[in-house]
Chains A and B, each alone.
Chain A
Amino acid sequence: MGKLQLHHYLPAKRLREQLLSVAPLLPVGMVLAVRGEDRYLGGWGERAELLTTDDRSTLELPLTLEGIPIGRLVWHTPLEQTELIEQWARHLVTVCQGLMEVEHARRAVTSEALESFREIALLERASSVLNRSLRPREVGDALLGELTSRARTIRWGAVFLYNVDPGNYSLLNIFGEDAEPLFLAFADTPLFKGYVEGQITGILNDTRSHPLHTGGETLFRAILGLPLEAHNERVAILFLAADHVDAFVSADLKRTTALTSMAATALRNAQMFEAETQMFRAFISMMASAIDAKSPYTAGHCRRVPEIARMLTRAACESTDPPFQDFSFSEDDWETLEIATYLHDCGKVVTPEWVVDKPTKLSTNFDRIDMVELRILLMMAQEELAILKGQTGVAEVAQQKPFMDDLKFLKECNLGKEFISAENEARLRTLATFTWRDAKGEEQPLLTAEELTNLLIRRGTLNAQERQIIEDHVVHTINMLNSIPFPPRLRNVVEYAGGHHECMNGKGYPNRLTDTTLSVPARIVAIADIFEALTAPDRPYRLPYTLSKTLDIMFRMSKEGHIDPELFGLFLRSGIYQRYADHYLKPSQIDAVDIRPYLLTPLD
């Protein structure tokens, strides 16, 4: 409660009523005035407002509240009826005191109600402010902000987070000039220890007088410290400090207590949310590592694609070019992109690795070319035996079956580096008709029907069935991600991750999306995926591409409507390819690149 002021307890209107009922009975010439400490409240007679006690002919009586004088009744009279007049004055004082007491009681109730209003408002505001965020730092900032914005005496403030495991405290938020070094120094003092261990709680209005004060210099002359506890567990500790003694009053403690108990719960929730988020991230990271570890040839793919996607997204955010001027990314969007890029290939966990990495046409779990080789060797041995037995002429053998030459041809076809021409197809079909004799003496074909089909693959090493298995990995990715109940803020994870094999022209898989249905982030992931795959230094089926060759292939893909030409242009202009190459590619891959022919619009 502030200073008691008479005008608050003796309303002008009430005083006027009293004066009007009493004063007419007073002697003529009488002047009286009621004064508070700093103002005139009302009076009777000529120039009553100027009446002071300096004059010898004036008398006065105090007006008291709770025994404290807060004003006076002053009167002046030229007549001799002093005793009678004093009686009237005493009567007036009694009436005024009565009015003041009633008013005092009324005001006390009103004050109490106002305090409740203030408290309700504070709690309402605090609960919305403190629960607005699920990030511990923001919760701490909200707490300090709410406390320091309404109390002028607080010069510094800090929230120290309690770390359960080592059992120590770390600075989470600070307020005030030089707060960080001041609080870090304070954290080493016995006073801090006293607060932390509960020997001191609440207000310490003169730090130097406390027994735990060791005499060191501190600017904190008064401290208000409160632990933040949720479910009886320490979460953090709050300190407010002032540079003069007696800075804190009980209302500060009351307010701070109400806020800290609410902040403790909010902070606890934020910590739990953070822990869950970290666990989820670790899980995603583990998943990415697992996919990468499944095949030594794609090691790092799931870790590098996020890097490229992040770089390209940042470039899109910063670009003021028309296609990207409205493109922006929120914190939730960044998290969505991170999860999506880490998990874009998660479907590969169900794809057999011998298909993913199929290095040659005859590979299953192993390369069957070795079996073919064995069969040929067997055939040669069987022929030799036949010659020795005199069943076949030597010249005949040399003409019909140049075994070693055939083996070389088969091995080359197996690598899948070149197209199978009509001529080579005919030769493969002929070779398939050759036979050898098994242990039972029965004739077996040199190539089984399935082996022939594989060797006839026109391009690459995958047959139609295997290609389908590969393409299915995206379907698995989508199904797997759809089974995760992502919160609304992360609802786009599936779209970003599942679209990395879609094309602008609608010829991609699995959903044949088009430039009207593919989001910008999904297109970004597709470009990141292709760039990483092409530059990957260690694919079983080919040597690593150089940077220039990679960009050349991607330019073709851009022209053919495979990838987004605008994003590809941004990828080139921003120099992301170069920064990535310098960091991740082998020196032998990094060659000179001229991007000018690839750009739709010339460089500035």
Chain B
Amino acid sequence: MFKVVIVDDEVHIRALLEQTMEELEEEFEFEILTAANGGDGLAAIQREHPRLVFLDVMMPVMNGYDVCAAVRADSSLDETKVVMLTAKGQETDRQRGMSVGVNHFITKPFDPDEIVNLAREILGS
């Protein structure tokens, strides 16, 4: 069973992503785990070895770049795809995200269909 980890300090974003992912329940068997800060998020990723991580940028304890850099430093997490959620108009974040090994970027407010398509592509590969 796939694991999907959602790391975001905003509860509504976690809820929105969780509910969006329900659309894929019939195609894939996966379990969603959530974390409200970067520290908990990294711990969950290291414990669960998820296939897919949704990662916010600005978070307490540890920001998204540092979480991603730590994930990429761990060779046992090579299969983990990181999707970073950036704010609209903060396209400069992408440069930094790319430098720490982010695989995809999604702008908030995100298009649910785009999330579904991207997750389908990642879980299906």
List residues of chain A with CB under 8 Å of any chain B CB: 8, 106-107, 110-111, 113-114, 116-118, 120-122, 125, 150
On chain B, the residues within 8 Å of A116 by CB distance are 109
B30 within 8 Å of A (CB atoms): no
Give the A-B pair count, Cβ closer than 8 A: 33
As a 0/1 sequence over residues 90 to 125 of chain B, the CB contacts with chain A under 8 angstroms (1 = contact) are: 000000000000000000011111100000000000
Question: In this complex, what residue of B is CB-closest to A124?
Answer: B111
On chain B, the residues within 8 Å of A110 by CB distance are 12, 15-16, 19
Contact partner of B111 (CB less than 8 A), chosen from A8, A106, A107, A118, is A118
On chain A, the residues within 8 Å of B109 by CB distance are 116-117, 120-121
- CB atoms of A117 and B110 under 8 A apart: yes
Contact partner of B112 (CB less than 8 A), chosen from A106, A107, A114, is A114
On chain A, the residues within 8 Å of B112 by CB distance are 114, 117-118, 121
Per the bound structure, the CA–CA distance linking A285 and B12 in Å amounts to 62
Per the bound structure, the CA–CA distance linking A107 and B19 in Å amounts to 8
- CB atoms of A117 and B19 under 8 A apart: no
- CB atoms of A125 and B111 under 8 A apart: yes
B20 within 8 Å of A (CB atoms): yes
As a 0/1 sequence over residues 39 to 79 of chain B, the CB contacts with chain A under 8 angstroms (1 = contact) are: 00000000000000000000000000000000000000000
On chain A, the residues within 8 Å of B22 by CB distance are 8
- CB atoms of B12 and A113 under 8 A apart: yes
* Interface range, B side: 10 to 19
Q: Please list 30 pairs of residues, one from A and one from B, whose beta carbons are closer than 8 Å in the complex, sorted by A's number.
A: A8-B22, A106-B15, A107-B19, A110-B12, A110-B15, A110-B16, A110-B19, A111-B19, A113-B16, A114-B16, A114-B19, A114-B20, A116-B109, A117-B16, A117-B109, A117-B110, A117-B111, A117-B112, A118-B111, A118-B112, A118-B113, A120-B109, A121-B109, A121-B110, A121-B111, A121-B112, A121-B114, A122-B111, A125-B111, A150-B113
Per the bound structure, the CA–CA distance linking A394 and B111 in Å amounts to 112
Question: In this complex, what residue of B is CB-closest to A125?
Answer: B111
On chain A, the residues within 8 Å of B12 by CB distance are 110, 113
Per the bound structure, the CA–CA distance linking A150 and B113 in Å amounts to 9
On chain A, the residues within 8 Å of B110 by CB distance are 117, 121
On chain A, the residues within 8 Å of B15 by CB distance are 106, 110
Per the bound structure, the CA–CA distance linking A118 and B117 in Å amounts to 13
Which of A8, A111, A113, A116 has the most chain B CB atoms inside 10 A of its CB?
A113
Per the bound structure, the CA–CA distance linking A113 and B112 in Å amounts to 10
Per the bound structure, the CA–CA distance linking A126 and B37 in Å amounts to 35
Q: A106-B15, A113-B12 are in contact. Are A121 and B113 (CB under 8 A)?
A: yes
- Shortest Cβ distance from A108 into chain B, in angstroms? 11
On chain B, the residues within 8 Å of A125 by CB distance are 111
On chain B, the residues within 8 Å of A111 by CB distance are 19
Question: In this complex, what residue of A is CB-closest to B13?
Answer: A113
Per the bound structure, the CA–CA distance linking A116 and B12 in Å amounts to 13
- Shortest Cβ distance from B6 into chain A, in angstroms? 13
Question: In this complex, what residue of A is CB-closest to B114?
Answer: A121
On chain B, the residues within 8 Å of A150 by CB distance are 113
- Shortest Cβ distance from A154 into chain B, in angstroms? 16
On chain B, the residues within 8 Å of A121 by CB distance are 109-114
- Shortest Cβ distance from B118 into chain A, in angstroms? 13
Per the bound structure, the CA–CA distance linking A8 and B21 in Å amounts to 12
The 3 tightest CB contacts between A and B, nearest first, are A121-B111, A117-B109, A110-B15
Q: A110-B19, A118-B113 are in contact. List 15 more A-B contacts (CB 8 A).
A: A8-B22, A110-B12, A110-B15, A110-B16, A111-B19, A114-B19, A116-B109, A117-B109, A117-B112, A118-B111, A118-B112, A121-B111, A122-B111, A125-B111, A150-B113
- Shortest Cβ distance from B5 into chain A, in angstroms? 15
- Shortest Cβ distance from B45 into chain A, in angstroms? 19
Per the bound structure, the CA–CA distance linking A122 and B111 in Å amounts to 8
Per the bound structure, the CA–CA distance linking A8 and B12 in Å amounts to 16
- Shortest Cβ distance from B85 into chain A, in angstroms? 12
Question: In this complex, what residue of B is CB-closest to A113?
Answer: B16
On chain B, the residues within 8 Å of A118 by CB distance are 111-113
Question: In this complex, what residue of A is CB-closest to B108?
Answer: A117
Per the bound structure, the CA–CA distance linking A114 and B18 in Å amounts to 11
- Shortest Cβ distance from A538 into chain B, in angstroms? 64
Per the bound structure, the CA–CA distance linking A110 and B11 in Å amounts to 11
- Shortest Cβ distance from A371 into chain B, in angstroms? 80
On chain A, the residues within 8 Å of B111 by CB distance are 117-118, 121-122, 125
Per the bound structure, the CA–CA distance linking A107 and B12 in Å amounts to 10
Per the bound structure, the CA–CA distance linking A117 and B22 in Å amounts to 16
- Shortest Cβ distance from B36 into chain A, in angstroms? 15
- Shortest Cβ distance from A13 into chain B, in angstroms? 10
Per the bound structure, the CA–CA distance linking A110 and B22 in Å amounts to 13
- Shortest Cβ distance from A577 into chain B, in angstroms? 55
- Shortest Cβ distance from B35 into chain A, in angstroms? 14
Per the bound structure, the CA–CA distance linking A107 and B22 in Å amounts to 12
